[in-house]
């Protein structure tokens, strides 16, 4: 697993040239990449959401496209359109910005539900259908979406089906005083992103993804994951709990976390550290809990505290004994 550890360090070290003092957030980005999962970056303006997505794209030898969502966008502005070629006398498909490898969906909640729905097929099935013809998307395919949770005027909240397709939700938060001074110094003459170069090739990314899929998850860990998801469905503070996709996402993210830590098996601490970013956006808080100012993240944290973690050995060798 040292190869995955080195792979993650290369990307994180490169991203830290631009995004200062956010090591844990950058680790989540790499976990999303290793799982080929989509990430929702939700935070206030000015903390580096868009810059993080652009920095990741520059760090990878991949095709990067940016979609700046606005209320007047149409689904065809995302997926593409078929145009009639008079010389060849046939329709030709002109791909939209969704046809790429690393996609920045900037301010995704500013698009209408009709336009947001254009992402559903792409995010889940890695393909788009235009005029009845299906087009496969390149591999890897990863959507990094940003949204501002504070400003609601002129925005359209993401539906549950859309949120459920994101592997995890993350927040950057404000930097501390020392980091903010460093950011000012780093950007005095030129923005650091201008000097950012790719540090991993496409072949390395695909190889790392294949290795992560083979990370061992023992039966007690699987049961622990499912129990966490099940408890979100039965909590009196939750109107709608995490779906089975949430359990799958937590397992996949746990595999990536274990690989980044240099292990060939998942342990309970991997799951605990990822439960909030993976499950938090998948549950709908009940109206009564909202009145008590109870957030989905707090509910997941309470479930973690009340759910006993499994003990024992979790390696593949222990199963054979």
**Each residue of 250-293: pLDDT tens digit?**
999 999 999 999 999 999 999 999 999 999 999 999 998 888 88
Within this chain, do residues 39 and 161 fall inside the same structural domain, yes or no?
yes
**Sign of the torsion formed by the C-alpha atoms of 102, 28, 243 and 157:** negative
Which residue in the block uniquely carries the two structure tokens 């503070």?
Answer: 237
Q: Of 181, 214, 247, which residue sits at a domain end?
A: 214
Which residue in the block uniquely carries the two structure tokens 């927040």?
Answer: 171
Give the residue among 48, 50, 44 at the shortest CA–CA distance from 151.
Answer: 44
- Kindly report the CATH number assigned to the domain that includes residue 236: 1.10.8.80
Within this chain, do residues 24 and 150 fall inside the same structural domain, yes or no?
yes
Within this chain, do residues 134 and 228 fall inside the same structural domain, yes or no?
no
- pTM score of the predicted model: 0.90
Within this chain, do residues 49 and 105 fall inside the same structural domain, yes or no?
yes
When computed from its CA atoms, the radius of gyration of the chain, rounded to whole angstroms, is 20
- Report in angstroms the alpha-carbon separations of 115 from 14, 75, 76, 209, 220: 34, 5, 8, 30, 41
Half-sphere exposure (Cβ direction) of 23: Cα atoms closer than 13 Å:
3
pLDDT band at 141 (very low <50, low <70, confident <90, very high): very high
Q: Of 214, 231, 262, which residue sits at a domain end?
A: 214
Whether 320 maps to a domain, the answer reads: no
Tell me: the pLDDT tens digits for 157-170?
888 888 999 999 99
Question: Which alpha helices (H) appear in 112-201, and where do they start and end?
Answer: 113-116, 118-125, 160-163, 177-186
The answer for residues whose C-beta is within 8 angstroms of residue 8's C-beta and 6 or more apart is 27, 30, 34, 259, 260
- Answer for the pair 159, 111: CB distance below 8 angstroms, yes or no: no
Q: Of 214, 230, 245, which residue sits at a domain end?
A: 214
- % of the chain beyond a pLDDT of 90: 54
What pLDDT shows up at residue 152?
66
Measured CA to CA, the distance from residue 277 to residue 41 in angstroms comes to 10
Mean pLDDT of 85-95: 85
- Omega cis (within 30) before 140: yes
Whether 67 maps to a domain, the answer reads: yes
Within this chain, do residues 189 and 255 fall inside the same structural domain, yes or no?
no
Measured CA to CA, the distance from residue 182 to residue 172 in angstroms comes to 16
Measured CA to CA, the distance from residue 154 to residue 43 in angstroms comes to 17
Give the residue among 145, 144, 140, 171 at the shortest CA–CA distance from 62.
Answer: 140
Within this chain, do residues 263 and 176 fall inside the same structural domain, yes or no?
no
Whether 92 maps to a domain, the answer reads: no
Measured CA to CA, the distance from residue 233 to residue 246 in angstroms comes to 11
Residue 132 has pLDDT above 90, yes or no: no
Within this chain, do residues 45 and 24 fall inside the same structural domain, yes or no?
yes
Residue 319 has pLDDT above 60, yes or no: no
DSSP run (H or E) holding 79: helix 75-79
Within this chain, do residues 199 and 56 fall inside the same structural domain, yes or no?
yes
Measured CA to CA, the distance from residue 228 to residue 303 in angstroms comes to 7
Within this chain, do residues 31 and 128 fall inside the same structural domain, yes or no?
yes
- Kindly report the CATH number assigned to the domain that includes residue 107: 3.40.50.300
What is the span of the domain harbouring residue 30? 1-72+100-214
Within this chain, do residues 300 and 166 fall inside the same structural domain, yes or no?
no
Within this chain, do residues 22 and 118 fall inside the same structural domain, yes or no?
yes
Within this chain, do residues 145 and 191 fall inside the same structural domain, yes or no?
yes
Q: How many domains does the chain have?
A: 2
Measured CA to CA, the distance from residue 148 to residue 127 in angstroms comes to 28
Whether 88 maps to a domain, the answer reads: no
């Amino acid at each position: 697993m040292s190869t995955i550890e080195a792979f993650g360090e290369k990307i994180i070290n490169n991203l830290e040239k631009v995004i200062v003092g956010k090591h844990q957030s950058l680790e989540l980005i790499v976990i999303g990449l290793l799982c080929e999962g989509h990430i929702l970056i939700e935070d206030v303006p000015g903390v580096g959401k868009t810059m993080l997505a652009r920095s990741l794209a520059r760090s990878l030898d991949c095709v990067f496209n940016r979609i700046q969502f606005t209320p007047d966008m149409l689904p065809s502005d995302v997926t593409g359109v078929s145009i009639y070629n008079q010389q060849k006398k046939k329709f030709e498909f002109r791909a939209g910005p969704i046809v790429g490898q690393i996609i920045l969906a900037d301010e995704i909640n500013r698009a209408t539900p009709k336009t947001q729905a254009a992402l559903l097929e792409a995010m889940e099935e890695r393909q788009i259908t235009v005029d009845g013809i299906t087009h496969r998307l390149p591999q890897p395919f990863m959507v990094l979406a940003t949204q501002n949770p504070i400003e609601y005027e002129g925005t359209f909240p993401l539906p549950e089906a859309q949120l459920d397709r994101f592997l995890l939700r993350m927040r950057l938060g404000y930097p501390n005083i020392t980091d903010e001074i460093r950011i000012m110094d780093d950007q005095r003459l030129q923005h650091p992103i201008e000097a950012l170069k790719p540090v991993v090739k496409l072949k390395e990314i695909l190889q790392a993804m294949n290795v992560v899929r083979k990370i061992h998850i023992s039966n007690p860990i699987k049961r622990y994951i499912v129990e966490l998801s099940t408890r979100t469905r039965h909590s009196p503070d939750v109107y709608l709990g995490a779906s089975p996709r949430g359990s799958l996402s937590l397992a996949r993210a746990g595999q990536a976390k274990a690989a980044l830590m240099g292990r060939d098996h998942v342990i309970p601490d991997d799951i605990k550290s990822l439960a909030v970013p993976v499950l938090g956006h998948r549950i709908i808080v009940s109206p009564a809990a909202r009145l008590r100012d109870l957030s989905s993240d707090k509910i997941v944290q309470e479930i973690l505290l009340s759910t006993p973690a499994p003990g024992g050995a979790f390696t593949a060798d222990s199963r054979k004994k």
